[in-house]
Structure 1
Amino acid sequence: MDEFASQYHRALGIGEAAFEGLEPHLERRNYDGCEYRHLPDARRGIERGTVLIDGEVVRGFPKVPRTLVLSTGVPTQFDEYGRIAVEEKLNGYNVRVARIDGDALAFSRSGMVCPFTTRMLDRLVDLAELFDSYPMAMVCGEMIGPENPYTAHDYPGVDSIAFRAFDWRDRETGDPLPVQERRARYERFEIPQTPLFEFVAVDDAPETVDACIRDLDAQHREGVVMKSPDGRTQLKYTTSASTKSDLAYAFSLPFDYGRPFMFRRLIREGFQTVEWDESDEAARQRAHELGEAILLSMRETITTIDAGGTVGERHTVRASTETIDVLLTHLRGQGLEIDIEDDRREDGDRVLTFRKRTPATNDTTRNYLEGHAVTE
């Protein structure tokens, strides 16, 4: 076994043969001269996003299952618990922060070091005391707000970008803290967290979550994550508003997002309208809104391209010049083509609006407009 394998297989808790099977799936990256490897997809019981860096392991965040029916899904998932915590699921991008060789690094869902987030966290939260006290902590959170290079969404009180912690795990084992202990620790270090609605008995949870979801839906927010008190079992459920928003975005770039994206979201709507026992009128209204989300966004895209324009994913970010430069280098290093639409100074910051090109939607739409036949 080579030195690299011997360095990591025990820390991952797997045998030599299993690590040998895992190694070809690790992608090699470099951040500020430090070489690391990460696992972009779950393999051999190891979570997606797991990172091997400087002799250390940073575990990926486990995939959270979803229920389509609260009344049966909640008691089935939490059958061994008496009560659960209900926290808000925020719409942003997932990051894990760990201290490696004295530096706090922010890792993306797939395990890449995000240079933008790593630098922005210094502006948003002070994690130094937390890592001094708990050097093996893995701070798990969501980056939210309208000035966001990956998933922009408006939240009250967030003008640019903000961090909200939603979990705390051991970075090597992936073991979570119990919910109450985790929330108390973050409060101690003054780290903002995702909202906690309440702890509720499992038998009462479907009704409680239903009420939360209806309220969040009216506010066009994403949904909830239900968690066992020990933090080991989780379950998510989202709003119809978030589904419509997702579909509108996806169908503004219809050839860059696959059919499974659409199908999964439409299935959620079908189960929710039945569980909510909607009237025919309410179900038709839901169908009407879904159809608008899909068709009108796609219509706007086709019209734009037909008029000679282009479409893409537009984002605005606000940071130092150096932070924005490393963000652009990072995005282009992933093969993305970036068009700068606006670049200005404001209150000492650089404010950049850019668009990620989406060649599949632009090229395919243009081909169809020019008369190319559709192969089905």
Structure 2
Amino acid sequence: MNKGENEVIDPGFVARLAGFLGFDEERVQHLFEKNYLAKNWGKHDYLFRFDKEISRIERGTVLYEKGDSFEVIMGFPKIRRAMVLDPTLKKHFNGLEKVAVEEKMNGYNVRVANVKGDIVAITRSGYVCPYTTERANVKLNLKFFDDFPNLVLYGEMVGPDNPYVPKEIYGIESVEFYIFDIREKNSGNPLPLSGKKKILEEYGFLQVESFGEFPLQTAAEEIAEIIRELGKIEHEGVVIKDPDMVLAPLKYTSSQSNCSDLRHAFMFYNEAGRDFMLSRIVREGFQTVEWNENEAEFEKRYMQLGESILNPLRESIRRVKNGQRLYEEVRIRVRNPRTATEFENYLKRLGVDAIFEPPQPAGNEYLINIKKVNKSTNDKTQAIWEGELW
């Protein structure tokens, strides 16, 4: 079943699922008809994914039948953003003595879980990615999933062999999983930070960096200094957490991360949403005021911001004008070449136009370079050069 296609769902299944969710059967049937609730593909078609937030069930949540009931892997909870640190932290975490600060890494969100005996990697949207699943089975200590079948690893896939967000900045040779949360199936409740750390250390999992816990009253000043240092090495930012994980976390990013995002967005300007671009520019305005920057610091900021917008935009327009196609170059590393074929088919079903080059041996694995063609920006730019109005 391709993305966007409807499929007749067994009425008995609809009735069982409605009872489990506490919905009317008509409502569940409507979710299927609208593809707000849909099957995964191929051998994972027993996994159903929410393509839209429904009654506080996060988008990307997946569920499947287990025995006479269902088991649920909740989606990624929305992490709201602090635009200014001091008043926001004191308001949001009111009543806490301390907050914990962890690095927000620049990669791709993934959940890894034991699903009916298989270790699968589930994307933010709720798809089972064949490439990420293979990497998870190669990289992670699978004994964890035998010992804790009811727990799910929530993490970031980071490194240059990442077909979604390739980054060289972390000194990783290929790709690694950095865990930031462990959550329970069904409830989605997170383990407190102390419990998470203990388990991750026991099983040898990589963790996002912890910068420690800071008194709430002085946390803004400490976090601002951390952000400045992360910015110098082009890292993304931080997530600020309640150590007991009762209150929802907040995130805050560096100026360099905002500009890096904008460089990519304006290279493929017709694919990136306008809200994506605007929000990052607005963040820069708030940060320069909150940090009370002098004129020299402000000039450096707006020069960096302007460069991140105009330089990639100019380069993309030049390339199309000169008859070249715009594409994003990424690569993957697989143990089994069949995984690359499965991943190519997976991207096609997602509507991604990608050109896979022949596999190249790399030790006991294979490297495959991929060109992801950005058709919308290509077509729009070409049409403007041919006289189309904006």
Give aligned pairs, total: 372
Distance in structure 1 (CA, Å) of the matches to 2:20 and 2:329: 40
- In 1, Cα distance between equivalents of 2:305 and 2:203: 43
C-alpha deviation, 1:353, in angstroms: 1.0
Q: Deviations over 1:330-362 (max 9, x none)?
A: 111112111235642222322111111111100
Contact 2:39 2:45 in 1 (8 A): no
Q: Secondary structure at the match of 2:199?
A: helix
- Structure 2 stretches lacking a partner, 5+ long: 1-9
The equivalent position to 1:156 in structure 2, one of 170, 186, 192, is 170
Q: Confirm or deny: 8 A CA contact 2:73 2:186 kept in the other structure.
A: yes
**1:38 shift after superposition:** 0.7
From 378, 381, 386, give the equivalent of 1:365.
Answer: 381
2:54 aligned to which of 14, 37, 43 = 43
- Contact 2:266–2:309 at 8 Å: present in 1 too? yes
With over 3 angstroms needed to count, the CA separation of the structure-2 counterparts of 1:33 and 1:291, relative to structure 1, is: closer
Mapped to 1, the partners of 2:24 and 2:232 lie a distance apart of 52
Find the counterpart in structure 2 of residue 244 from structure 1. 259
**In the alignment, what sits opposite 1:107?**
122
Deviations 1:293-339 (A, max 9, x none): 11010111111111111112221111121221111111111121112
TM-score, structure 1 normalization? 0.94
Q: CA–CA distance in 2 between the matches of 1:256 and 1:352?
A: 25
Task: Give the counterpart letter for 1:50 in structure 2.
Answer: T
Name whichever of 272-281 and 53-62 sits farther off.
53-62
Report SS of the residue matched to 2:46.
strand
Identity %: 35
Instruction: Give the SS at the match of 1:32.
Output: helix
Deviations 1:218-273 (A, max 9, x none): 11000000110121320000000100000000000011112111100001000000
Looking at structure 1, the residues matched to 372 and 102 of structure 2 have their Cα atoms a distance apart, in angstroms, of 32
How far does the alpha carbon of each residue in 1:171-229 deviate from its partner, in whole angstroms, 9 at most, with x for none? 21101110111111111111111011001111121111111101001110000001101
In 1, Cα distance between equivalents of 2:95 and 2:119: 36
**Aligned residue runs from structure 1 range 162-177, under 5 A:** 162-177=176-191
TM-aligned CA deviation for residue 31 of structure 1? 3.7
Residue of structure 2 equivalent to 1:205: 219
Work out whether residues 330 and 371 of structure 2, in 8 Å CA contact, stay in contact via their aligned partners in 1. Answer: yes
Match for 1:141: what amino acid?
G
SS in 2 for 1:138: strand
1:272 match: 287
Instruction: Note the alpha carbon deviations across 1:145-179, whole angstroms, 9 max, x for none.
Output: 01111011124331111101000111211011101
CA contact (8 A) 1:342 1:354 kept: no
Structure 1 portions without partners, runs of 5+: none
Q: Deviations over 1:57-90 (max 9, x none)?
A: 1111101000000011111111132211100000
8 Å contact 2:112–2:136 — kept in the other structure?
no
Alignment of 1:3 onto 2:19: no
* Residues 169 and 10 of structure 1: CA distance in aligned 2, closer, same or farther (over 3 Å): farther
**131 and 9 in structure 1: CA distance in 2 versus 1, 3 angstrom threshold:** farther
Contact map agreement 2:158 2:177 (CA 8 A) in 1 = yes
Structure 2 counterparts to residues 293-332 of structure 1, below 5 A: 293-320=308-335, 321-332=337-348
Q: Is the 8 A contact 2:159 2:174 kept in 1?
A: yes
Instruction: Assess, with a 3 A threshold, how the Cα gap between structure 1 residues 371 and 15 changes in structure 2: closer, same or farther.
Output: closer
Q: Is the aligned partner of 1:350 residue 2:378?
A: no
Which of residues 85, 97, 101 in structure 2 aligns to 1:70? 85
Q: Secondary structure at the match of 1:68?
A: coil
1:228 equivalent to 2:237? Answer: no
Conserved 8 A contact 2:111-2:153: yes
Amino acid across the alignment from 2:317: I
1:7 is displaced (CA, Å) by 3.4
CA distance in structure 2 between the partners assigned to 1:140 and 1:177 by the alignment: 11
State the Cα distance separating 1:21 from its structure 2 match.
Answer: 6.3
Name which of 96, 120, 144 aligns with 1:130: 144
Structure 2 contact 271–376 (Cα < 8 Å) conserved:
yes
Q: Distance in 2 between matches of 1:272 and 1:344?
A: 45
In structure 1, how many angstroms separate the alpha carbons of the residues matched to 2:20 and 2:242?
26
RMSD of aligned Cα (Å):
1.8
The answer for the alignment partner of 2:301 in structure 1 is: 286
User: Structure 1 residue 3: deviation in Å?
Assistant: 3.0
1:35 aligned counterpart, secondary structure: coil
Give the direction of change, closer, same or farther, for the CA distance of 1:155–1:284 in structure 2 (3 Å limit). Answer: closer
> AA paired with 1:71?
D
